[in-house]
């Protein structure tokens, strides 16, 4: 026997899973046909609201996606008919006629579909991530229309008021319409740059969720959403030339996400990569990431492509995660990968990480020389991980007085309470230990 509570629970979970799977598909199709973003989003949201009322009474339909599409489509037709002014009537009629055709073939994929790049959802992703939109608008719009989060949920995740977020979305949609941002997948010659732009938005979204320590519970869903959207993008890109980098990004996210449970201890303190309890890592996510990485490697070899920045970062994370214990990490390979990364995405932080890998594979002396060169260059002034790394290397070389000075320098610069506690602990220990702090977690 099913109690009413169970039934409501079953409906709620069906609606939630339909929402995750179907929102982008239905919204993107309605936008293509009507050209009206707000109308499309509202009708899809109304359809989900209707499902919560209707399904407990009439049962969950056998094809929830088709049910939701029909309800959203009918809602759009109603609204258009009601709002049609005389001047716009002809165009509205044409839109209504096209809407009525939707789903006639039992499938609501794009009628214009030509291969994987013809999917409406891909148009939606590329349009949301158009470089003419401000970055924060790209992120918000992607969460609202592609992921189907409510404005309130997005506002909560970015710690702004709901009205601020609503305004941001309104402005973004208005710019798409008024500046003439096309609703389409960019032509091949623009595709490399624009795909890189989409990946950057997804990675930013992921990091918003991943790096937050204070509001982990609020933001963790962002990381999961970013993974889901990247997975969707990988599927939609199919055999296009930029799939390897998308695969690399997905692997990188899975690798970082796999360590979530081990990153902070029960006291809320940061646990470094080397000291994490590896049994807390998500072995399934790591295995999937490794498989994706192998596919990306193979594609690059076959197509004579150089691996991109996310692909390389994933390979580095993979070296750490595939080691049974911190000590057996292939640091020589990590150093080579950082060198390759520095060539395509030069940054002092990458150089610092390379220095650590060199220290681990060739000895602290060699690493210290690289760190000192960075220190002299001054580009990392004020960045606490530079003195923290230098202190660790000095400690291993037995130069404890100098080490203590750098630990203090690092502690004064550290951005969070947890990091300051960690560095104070190191300073108090004032002795060498087998567990070396090396890589800042998450590279």
Partner 1 sequence: MEYLLFICSDPAAPTYVPEEDNIQEWVAEMEGRGVTRAGDRLRPVADATTVTVRDGELIVSDGPFAETKEWIAGFDLIDCSDLDEAIEIASKHPMARFGKIEIRPIWPFDTE
Checking phi first, is residue 342 left (phi over 0); if not, alpha (psi -120 to 50) or beta?
A: alpha
* Minimum distance of partner 1 from residue 177's CB (angstroms): 9
* Minimum distance of partner 1 from residue 190's CB (angstroms): 7
Given the complex with partner 1, which of 132 and 343 has the nearer CB atom? Answer: 132
The sign of the dihedral angle between the CA atoms of 52, 58, 60, 64 is: negative
Given the complex with partner 1, which of 178 and 325 has the nearer CB atom? Answer: 178
- Residue 254 CA to residue 284 CA, distance in Å, equals 9
Supply φ then ψ for residue 218, to 5 degrees.
-75, -40
Checking phi first, is residue 177 left (phi over 0); if not, alpha (psi -120 to 50) or beta?
A: alpha
* Minimum distance of partner 1 from residue 172's CB (angstroms): 14
Given the complex with partner 1, which of 49 and 132 has the nearer CB atom? Answer: 132
* Minimum distance of partner 1 from residue 130's CB (angstroms): 8
Rg over alpha carbons for the chain, rounded to the nearest Å, is 25
Q: How many residues make contact with partner 1 (CB under 8 A)?
A: 9
When asked if residue 86 is in the footprint of partner 1 (CB under 8 A), the reply is no
Q: For 275-336, give the DSSP string.
A: GS-GGGS-HHHHHHHHHHHHHHHHHHHHHTPPP-HHHHHHHHHHHHHHSSSGGG--HHHHHH
Given the complex with partner 1, which of 181 and 369 has the nearer CB atom? Answer: 181
- Residue 142 CA to residue 137 CA, distance in Å, equals 8
- Residue 246 CA to residue 393 CA, distance in Å, equals 36
- Residue 306 CA to residue 303 CA, distance in Å, equals 9
Given the complex with partner 1, which of 174 and 343 has the nearer CB atom? Answer: 174
Structure token pair of residue 376? 């002299």
Q: Which of 148, 248, 236 shows the shortest CA–CA distance to 196?
A: 248
State which of positions 214-233 bind partner 1 (CB under 8 A): none
**Measured in Å, how far apart are the chain's first and last C-alpha atoms?**
52
Supply φ then ψ for residue 270, to 5 degrees.
-70, 130
Given the complex with partner 1, which of 7 and 196 has the nearer CB atom? Answer: 196
* Minimum distance of partner 1 from residue 132's CB (angstroms): 6
State which of positions 275-314 bind partner 1 (CB under 8 A): none
Given the complex with partner 1, which of 84 and 160 has the nearer CB atom? Answer: 84
Given the complex with partner 1, which of 58 and 87 has the nearer CB atom? Answer: 87
State which of positions 151-210 bind partner 1 (CB under 8 A): 178-182, 186, 190
Given the complex with partner 1, which of 187 and 398 has the nearer CB atom? Answer: 187
Q: Which of 21, 192, 32 shows the shortest CA–CA distance to 127?
A: 32
Number of other residues whose CB lies within 10 A of the CB of residue 309: 20
* Minimum distance of partner 1 from residue 86's CB (angstroms): 14
* Minimum distance of partner 1 from residue 91's CB (angstroms): 13
* Minimum distance of partner 1 from residue 201's CB (angstroms): 17
Given the complex with partner 1, which of 169 and 293 has the nearer CB atom? Answer: 169
Q: Please state, in angstroms and as integers, the Cα–Cα distance from residue 217 to each residue in 100, 209, 292, following that order.
A: 42, 9, 28
Mark residues 117-136: x for contact with partner 1 by CB under 8 A, - for none. Answer: -------------x-x----
- Contacts of 401 by beta carbon, 8 Å cutoff, 6+ apart: none
Structure token pair of residue 424? 């104070």
* Minimum distance of partner 1 from residue 182's CB (angstroms): 4
Given the complex with partner 1, which of 127 and 145 has the nearer CB atom? Answer: 127
* Minimum distance of partner 1 from residue 180's CB (angstroms): 4
Q: Which of 49, 44, 41, 55 shows the shortest CA–CA distance to 11?
A: 55
* Minimum distance of partner 1 from residue 178's CB (angstroms): 6
- Residue 53 CA to residue 183 CA, distance in Å, equals 33
Structure token pair of residue 355? 């220095």
Interface residue list for partner 1 (CB under 8 A):
130, 132, 178-182, 186, 190
């Amino acid at each position: 026997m099913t109690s009413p509570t169970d039934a409501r629970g079953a409906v709620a979970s069906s609606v939630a899973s339909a929402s995750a799977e179907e929102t982008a598909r239905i919204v993107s199709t309605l936008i293509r046909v009507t050209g009206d973003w707000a109308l499309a989003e509202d009708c899809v949201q109304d359809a989900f609201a209707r499902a919560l009322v209707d399904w407990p009474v009439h049962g969950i339909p056998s094809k929830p996606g088709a049910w939701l599409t029909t309800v959203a489509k009918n809602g759009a037709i109603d609204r258009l008919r009601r709002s049609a002014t005389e001047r716009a009537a002809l165009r509205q009629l044409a839109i209504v006629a096209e809407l009525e055709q939707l789903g006639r073939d039992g499938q609501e994929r794009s009628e214009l579909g030509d291969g994987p790049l013809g999917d409406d959802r891909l148009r939606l992703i590329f349009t949301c991530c158009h470089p003419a939109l401000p970055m924060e608008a790209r992120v918000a719009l992607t969460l609202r229309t592609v992921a189907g989060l409510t404005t309130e949920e997005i506002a909560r995740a970015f710690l702004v008021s709901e009205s601020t977020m609503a305004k941001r979305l309104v402005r973004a949609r208005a710019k798409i319409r008024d500046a003439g941002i096309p609703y389409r997948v960019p032509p091949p010659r623009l595709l490399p740059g624009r795909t890189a732009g989409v990946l950057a938005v997804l990675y930013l979204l992921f990091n918003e969720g991943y790096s937050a320590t204070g509001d982990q519970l609020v933001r963790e869903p962002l990381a999961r959403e970013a993974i889901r959207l990247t997975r969707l993008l990988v599927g939609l890109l199919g055999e296009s030339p930029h799939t390897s980098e998308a695969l690399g990004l997905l692997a990188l996210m899975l690798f970082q996400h796999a360590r979530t449970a081990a990153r902070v201890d029960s006291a809320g303190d940061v646990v470094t990569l080397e000291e994490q309890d590896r049994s807390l890592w998500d072995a399934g996510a790591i295995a999937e990431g490794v498989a994706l990485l192998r596919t990306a490697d193979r594609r690059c070899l076959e197509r004579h492509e150089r691996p991109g920045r996310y692909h390389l970062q994933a390979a580095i994370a993979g070296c750490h995660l595939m080691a049974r214990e911190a000590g057996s990490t292939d640091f020589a390979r990590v150093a080579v990968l950082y060198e390759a990364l520095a060539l395509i995405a030069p940054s002092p932080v990458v150089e610092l990480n390379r220095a650590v890998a060199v220290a681990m594979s060739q000895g602290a002396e060699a690493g210290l020389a690289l760190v000192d060169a960075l220190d002299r260059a001054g580009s990392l002034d004020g960045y606490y991980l530079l003195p923290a790394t230098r202190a660790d290397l000095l400690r291993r070389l037995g130069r404890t007085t100098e080490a203590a000075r750098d630990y203090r320098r690092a502690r004064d610069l550290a951005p969070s309470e947890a990091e300051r506690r960690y560095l104070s602990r190191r300073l108090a220990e004032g002795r060498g230990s087998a567990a070396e702090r090396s890589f800042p977690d998450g590279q």
